[in-house]
């Protein structure tokens, strides 16, 4: 089902598969997503007027802010870009660099649409590639005419010629059958491939200034040094793959791709502005940092809606959805410049996580840590079993360490699990015993010393 038709309830359900708790934040992003579908379905005149309800997610570190945005992007087909707001305060950034996030988003969208279009022509491309490969395996002979052509010609044909052609056609069909059956997989063929140009050097020199002029250095150079073809020998399956790729690229209409991609950014792009709290507050009196408030001012037009010049044309940012996130431990959203505050009307708080949440985070999500370790060990032929009380113990220890040292949220589970399983992880390939049960006693044995020594846990967990 297209993400467009997901109701808020369905969106939350999908997020639930990965993120424990944080219901308020999930609801907010679900509504924001649905609102875009609604906007596209009201009259065009009104739709133009409806601004996205941008969101600020507020919460301590490691409680799922980024995770929610990441999962949202995966379930939605929208072009999604995550940027750290703080990067714009770094040395070397000038105000208009903020626009680079729109350029990046468009770039991403183009790649996305291109991949979709190529997927659509895949079957056709595969057919063409097969023909090309057959041409290579058995070069068309001798008159580049098929029997069909000859019939159509109605000329009297030399019986000899017809026979050669017929046999050529049969050979081709035979080869085709072999190809399909994989009987040619071991054979090498020589094909011509476009050489991928190494461009890293050029990338370094590509500055925002140049991009502003609507130029693309890579393309410029690409035209100066035309696509070089080189002949290379590859096995048949690889050749098929390369040729299919080439044909797919040829079949896709790049103009259409660009148009769709830009439209998609304008209508349903999402930008996740992480670390927004880092651009709030007083500027450090020294240091070469760009003023934080300056960055907020630079962000303003983009969030408010403006037109950004990209190499794919002008892009309007009016309807792009912005989701900002920050810990705001020393500052508040109200410390943002007023104009920017107004553009983020929805505020949601994420809760800090405790033992109960940790138990669920360890076991419930599709990608839960415990599942990850079990699968990883399974590759070594070791069956890892966690008892319920072991999980509870791990969760409790993580919560305890968070309380005593620094609260880093669910990230604590990673360090605790890693320490807990270090020995097993190291020994797994050499183990005689192929089943290991981790119970509460094992957890305590491995971790108690570290927990009891606060300094030690500060370093290790």
Residues near ligand ATP, by CB under 6 A: 19-22, 59, 61-67, 327, 361, 365, 409-411
Quick check: helix, strand or coil at residue 37? helix
Cβ neighbours, 10 Å, residue 267: 16
The DSSP call for residue 131 is: H
The residue length of the chain stands at 461
Cβ neighbours, 10 Å, residue 314: 11
Shortest Cβ 61–ligand ATP spacing (Å): 3
Binding Mg ion (rule: CB under 5 A), the pick from 66, 245, 309, 331 is: 66
Q: For residues 165 and 144, what is the distance between their CA atoms, to the nearest angstrom?
A: 9
The nearer residue to ligand ATP, 51 or 392, going by C-beta atoms, is 392
Shortest Cβ 62–ligand ATP spacing (Å): 5
User: Does 411 sit near Mg ion (CB under 5 A)?
Assistant: no
The nearer residue to Mg ion, 66 or 415, going by C-beta atoms, is 66
Location of structure tokens 């109200």: 334
Q: Which stretch binds Mg ion (CB under 5 A): 47-55, 61-69, 130-138, 337-345?
A: 61-69
Q: Which does 409 bind (CB under 5 to 8 A by kind): Mg ion, ligand ATP, none?
A: ligand ATP
The nearer residue to Mg ion, 82 or 218, going by C-beta atoms, is 82
Shortest Cβ 107–ligand ATP spacing (Å): 24
Shortest Cβ 411–ligand ATP spacing (Å): 5
Q: For residues 368 and 365, what is the distance between their CA atoms, to the nearest angstrom?
A: 5
Count CA within 13 A, CB hemisphere, residue 70.
7
The nearer residue to Mg ion, 66 or 164, going by C-beta atoms, is 66
The residues with which 402 forms a beta bridge, in sequence order, are none
**Pairing assessment for the beta strands 80-84 and 270-274 based on DSSP bridges:** parallel
Radius of gyration of the chain, Cα coordinates, nearest whole angstrom: 29
Q: For residues 454 and 460, what is the distance between their CA atoms, to the nearest angstrom?
A: 10
Q: Which does 84 bind (CB under 5 to 8 A by kind): ligand ATP, Mg ion, none?
A: none
Q: For residues 386 and 394, what is the distance between their CA atoms, to the nearest angstrom?
A: 10
Q: For residues 65 and 43, what is the distance between their CA atoms, to the nearest angstrom?
A: 34
In whole angstroms, how far apart are CA 319 and each of 36, 40, 307, 315, 327? 8, 11, 11, 11, 26
Shortest Cβ 33–ligand ATP spacing (Å): 18
Structure tokens at 24: 């308020």
Shortest Cβ 290–ligand ATP spacing (Å): 21
Shortest Cβ 386–Mg ion spacing (Å): 27
Quick check: helix, strand or coil at residue 359? helix
Quickly list H helices, 186-253. Answer: 200-205, 208-212, 217-224, 236-251
Q: Which does 21 bind (CB under 5 to 8 A by kind): ligand ATP, Mg ion, none?
A: ligand ATP
Q: Which does 79 bind (CB under 5 to 8 A by kind): Mg ion, ligand ATP, none?
A: none
Shortest Cβ 53–Mg ion spacing (Å): 21
Which residue in 208, 331, 320 sits closest to 279, CA to CA? 331
- Give the binding-site size for Mg ion (rule: CB under 5 A): 2
The nearer residue to ligand ATP, 179 or 280, going by C-beta atoms, is 280
Shortest Cβ 9–ligand ATP spacing (Å): 19
Tell me which residue has its CB nearest to Mg ion.
66
The nearer residue to ligand ATP, 82 or 444, going by C-beta atoms, is 82
The nearer residue to ligand ATP, 106 or 461, going by C-beta atoms, is 461
The nearer residue to ligand ATP, 19 or 236, going by C-beta atoms, is 19
The nearer residue to Mg ion, 68 or 105, going by C-beta atoms, is 68
Q: Are 211 and 311 in contact (CB under 8 A)?
A: yes
Quick check: helix, strand or coil at residue 58? strand
Binding site for Mg ion (CB under 5 A): 65-66
């Amino acid at each position: 089902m297209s993400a467009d038709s997901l109701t808020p309830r369905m969106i939350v359900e999908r997020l639930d598969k990965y993120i424990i708790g944080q219901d308020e934040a999930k609801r907010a992003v679900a509504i924001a997503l649905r609102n875009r579908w609604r906007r596209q379905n009201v009259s065009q005149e009104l739709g133009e007027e409806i601004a996205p309800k941008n969101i600020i997610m507020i919460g301590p570190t490691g409680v799922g802010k980024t995770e929610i945005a990441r999962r949202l992007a995966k379930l939605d087909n929208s072009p999604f870009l995550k940027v750290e707001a703080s990067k714009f305060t770094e040395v070397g950034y000038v105000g208009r660099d903020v626009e680079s996030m729109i350029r990046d988003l468009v770039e991403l969208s183009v790649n996305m649409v291109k991949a979709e279009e190529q997927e659509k022509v895949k079957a056709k491309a595969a057919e063409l590639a097969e023909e090309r490969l057959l041409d290579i395996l058995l070069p068309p002979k001798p008159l580049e005419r098929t029997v069909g052509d000859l019939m159509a010609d109605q000329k009297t044909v030399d019986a000899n010629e017809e026979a050669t052609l017929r046999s050529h056609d049969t050979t081709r069909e035979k080869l085709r059958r072999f190809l399909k059956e994989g009987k040619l997989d071991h054979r090498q063929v020589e094909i011509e491939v476009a050489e991928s140009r190494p461009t890293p050097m050029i990338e370094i020199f590509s500055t925002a200034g140049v991009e502003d002029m609507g130029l693309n250095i890579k393309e410029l150079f690409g035209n100066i040094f035309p696509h070089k073809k080189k002949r290379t020998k590859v096995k048949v399956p690889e050749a098929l793959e390369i040729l299919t790729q080439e044909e797919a690229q040829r079949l896709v209409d790049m103009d259409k791709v660009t148009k769709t991609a830009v439209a998609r950014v304008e209508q349903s792009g999402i930008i996740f502005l992480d670390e927004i709290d880092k651009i709030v507050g007083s500027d450090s009196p020294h240091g070469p940092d760009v003023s934080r408030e300056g960055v907020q001012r630079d962000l303003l037009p983009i969030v408010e809606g403006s037109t950004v010049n990209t190499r794919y044309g002008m892009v309007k940012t009016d309807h792009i959805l912005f989701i900002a996130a920050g810990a705001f431990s020393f500052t508040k959203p109200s410390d943002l410049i007023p104009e920017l505050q107004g553009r983020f009307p929805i505020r949601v708080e994420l809760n800090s996580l405790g033992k109960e949440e940790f138990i669920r985070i360890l076991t419930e999500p599709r990608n839960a840590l415990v599942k990850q370790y079990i699968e990883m060990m399974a590759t070594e032929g070791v069956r890892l079993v966690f008892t319920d009380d072991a999980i509870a113990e791990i969760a409790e220890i993580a919560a305890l360490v968070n309380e005593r040292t620094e609260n880093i949220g669910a990230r604590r589970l990673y360090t605790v699990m890693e320490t807990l399983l270090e020995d097993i992880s190291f020994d797994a390939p050499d183990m005689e015993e192929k089943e290991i049960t981790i119970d509460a006693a094992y957890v305590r044995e491995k971790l108690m010393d570290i927990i009891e020594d606060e300094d030690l846990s500060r370093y290790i967990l």
